A and B are shown apart, each in its own frame.
Chain A
Amino acid sequence: MHELSIAQSILDIITEEMRRHHVERIVSVRLKIGEMSAVVPESLTFCWSIVTKDTPAEGSRLDIVSLPIEARCLACDSVFFVQNYVYVCPKCGSGDLAILSGKELQIQDFETPDF
């Protein structure tokens, strides 16, 4: 259940950004979550509804964009998606990889109501 700590961290950042942009209400927050970060979207959504209660973000929705794990082989330079957590290049068999994406835990933007 690290989703609760993550939801709290999102709220801390969003509260700060809402103040900075003089925004009083929001309808949604868009997140990029990498497959490697072991976040369960349903659980994060549930925790979000709890931590935002009685805050300016209450009632807002989390839009979660899940990103697969993408890697580049440092031996043969091919780029591929890591399947089943096998960190081995399917082309040349090397395990020497640069992870391009899949570890993200990022806020992209939030949406305010239309007036």
Chain B
Amino acid sequence: MKVPVVRNILEANKRIADENRTLFGSKRILVLNLMSSPGAGKTTLLEKTIDLLKDRFRIGVIEGDIQTSTDAERIAGHGVQVVQINTDGACHLDGNMIREALTQLDLDALDLLVVENVGNLVCPAEFDVGEHHKVMILSTTEGDDKPKKYPLMFQESSVLLVNKIDLLPYINCRIEVIRRASAEINPNLKVLEISATTGEGLPLWTNWLEEQIRQIRGTD
């Protein structure tokens, strides 16, 4: 006998993510889900972003890693609220992990919360954590074939930061190939070329962020 079910497999995660999103909305906090492969430069970008914006905005970070609290310690050194989540093997963060982490943050004292997801180009894109925007980093050293090979993350993201452009003279990576392939997968994807190390292009990124924070906060 066949028994009909017709239920969304990730419905439990979606429900918790929606609850997180409602909470963020009531506190008027912009929340970003930052995703990339391991080593693409998420933590370095966060450190630079915090230094550029912390005088104007109150920033918090949730660090997701399979193991260690190394990244949280780096972020804490920049004087912002930070919580470390160790997934103990899981390759992505989910809505429930974020809900747990939120109990350790003072949300009334935040304008911007960045969730640094586990380094992985596939799984994090599948799990809504309640963010307003997914932002991904692709570093030039990973190669210009990545959009075609890992399309889901490119499709789900609002912004693509192409990082490590300072290394372009030394490697075989064509930015125009990344731009063309990304545009085919997601015509609305905003592509920004940056180097988190040298600071090149970072104003493009912080301008976008400021605009989003102001939208969430309304007129003030």
- A88 and B187 in contact, given A13-B5, A23-B3, A105-B8 (Cβ under 8 angstroms): yes
Instruction: Render A72-89 as a binary contact track against B, CB cut-off 8 A, 1 for contact.
Output: 000000000000111110
- A106 and B126 in contact, given A5-B94, A88-B184 (Cβ under 8 angstroms): no
- When distances are taken between beta carbons in the complex, the residues of chain A under 8 Å from B187 are 87-88, 95-96
By the criterion CB–CB under 8 Å, are B126 and A37 in contact? Answer: yes
The one of A4, A14, A36, A108 that contacts B4, using a Cβ cutoff of 8 Å: A108
Where chain B touches its partner, the secondary structure class is mixed
- When distances are taken between beta carbons in the complex, the residues of chain B under 8 Å from A10 are 9
Instruction: Identify the closest chain B residue to A3 (Cβ).
Output: B123
By the criterion CB–CB under 8 Å, are A13 and B7 in contact? Answer: yes
- A106 and B9 in contact, given A2-B127, A5-B127 (Cβ under 8 angstroms): yes
Instruction: Identify the closest chain B residue to A113 (Cβ).
Output: B1
- When distances are taken between beta carbons in the complex, the residues of chain B under 8 Å from A13 are 5, 7, 9, 11
- A85 and B90 in contact, given A21-B3, A106-B6, A108-B4 (Cβ under 8 angstroms): no
Instruction: Render A37-61 as a binary contact track against B, CB cut-off 8 A, 1 for contact.
Output: 1100000000000000000000000
**On chain A, which size bracket covers the interface?**
20 to 34
B138 within 8 A of A: no
- When distances are taken between beta carbons in the complex, the residues of chain B under 8 Å from A21 are 3
Where chain A touches its partner, the secondary structure class is mixed
By the criterion CB–CB under 8 Å, are A2 and B5 in contact? Answer: no
- Beta-carbon contacts under 8 Å, B83-104 to A: 90-92, 94
**On chain B, which size bracket covers the interface?**
20 to 34
Q: List 29 A-B contacts (CB under 8 A).
A: A2-B91, A2-B126, A4-B90, A5-B90, A5-B127, A6-B10, A12-B12, A13-B7, A13-B9, A14-B5, A17-B3, A17-B7, A23-B3, A36-B151, A36-B152, A38-B152, A84-B148, A86-B184, A88-B187, A95-B183, A95-B187, A96-B187, A106-B6, A106-B9, A107-B5, A109-B2, A112-B1, A112-B2, A112-B3
- A-B pairs, top 9 by smallest CB distance, nearest first, are A95-B187, A2-B123, A85-B151, A86-B184, A105-B9, A107-B5, A109-B4, A38-B152, A112-B1
Q: Which residues of B contact A (CB under 8 A)?
A: 1-13, 90-92, 94, 122-123, 125-127, 148, 150-152, 155, 183-187
